[in-house]
């Protein structure tokens, strides 16, 4: 009688021994803080006009971390009132807000002579909005979602041009 064939067990896959996880070292951004950010009163002032609280919080946290003083408005009416009262160096204006939208708020801000030179940047997710925002008086446009590094470089350039050289 022939011997029964020997069955081989399926290969056993053993997990590699668990190695301790190493903390990821964060990459440092090449973006520099604005000139004068070491002195609290010399920091550029940025008005963030955005109706979504989470977006406003994210922008405030980011800008604050890079040395800007941040004012916040939750709608276009507040944005106009804060801009007139505080005269920020830069206004980041969401285009879709309640009460007064960003286009109308920009037009209203532009009627104030003392705010004629302030840089207003439209923040929008709308494709093809460039012509409308420029016609309303915005100086530039940033499409959402925001790419952080180029955005911070542009914020630094916009605020540097707003402040006289010392």
Do residues 133 and 104 touch, judged by C-beta distance below 8 A?
Answer: no
Question: Which tens digits make up the pLDDT trace of 51-71?
Answer: 999 999 999 999 999 999 999
- Higher per-residue confidence, 22 vs 132: 132
Output the pLDDT for position 126: 85
Question: Which tens digits make up the pLDDT trace of 84-111?
Answer: 999 999 999 999 998 999 999 999 999 9
Output the pLDDT for position 75: 96
Query: What CA–CA distance (Å, rounded) separates 150 from 156?
Result: 10
- Higher per-residue confidence, 79 vs 19: 79
Distance in Å from the first CA to the final CA of the chain: 103
Output the pLDDT for position 25: 43
Domains and CATH numbers, the chain: 40-162 (3.40.50.2300)
The pTM of the full predicted model, rounded to 2 decimals, is 0.75
Q: Is the pLDDT of residue 29 over 60?
A: no
Q: Is the pLDDT of residue 166 over 50?
A: no
- Higher per-residue confidence, 112 vs 22: 112
Output the pLDDT for position 128: 86
Do residues 90 and 54 touch, judged by C-beta distance below 8 A?
Answer: no
Question: Which tens digits make up the pLDDT trace of 108-149?
Answer: 999 999 998 999 999 999 888 899 999 999 999 999 999 999
Q: DSSP 3-state assignment of 90? A: strand
Label residue 14 by pLDDT band (50, 70, 90): low
Query: What CA–CA distance (Å, rounded) separates 45 from 42?
Result: 9
């Amino acid at each position: 009688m022939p011997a029964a064939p020997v069955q081989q067990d399926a290969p056993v896959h053993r997990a590699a021994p668990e190695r301790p996880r190493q903390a990821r070292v964060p990459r440092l951004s090449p973006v520099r803080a604005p000139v004068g950010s070491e002195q609290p009163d010399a920091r550029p002032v940025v008005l963030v006009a955005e109706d979504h609280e989470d977006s406003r919080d994210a922008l405030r946290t980011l800008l604050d971390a890079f040395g800007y003083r941040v004012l916040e408005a939750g709608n276009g009416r507040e944005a106009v009132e804060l801009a007139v009262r505080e005269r920020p160096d830069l206004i980041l204006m969401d285009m879709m807000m309640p009460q007064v939208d960003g286009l109308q708020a920009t037009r209203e801000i532009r009627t104030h002579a003392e705010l004629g030179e302030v840089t207003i940047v439209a923040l929008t997710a709308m494709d093809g909005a460039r012509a409308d925002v420029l016609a309303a008086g915005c100086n530039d446009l940033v499409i959402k979602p925001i790419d952080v590094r180029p955005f911070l470089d542009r914020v630094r350039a916009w605020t540097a041009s707003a402040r006289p050289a010392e």
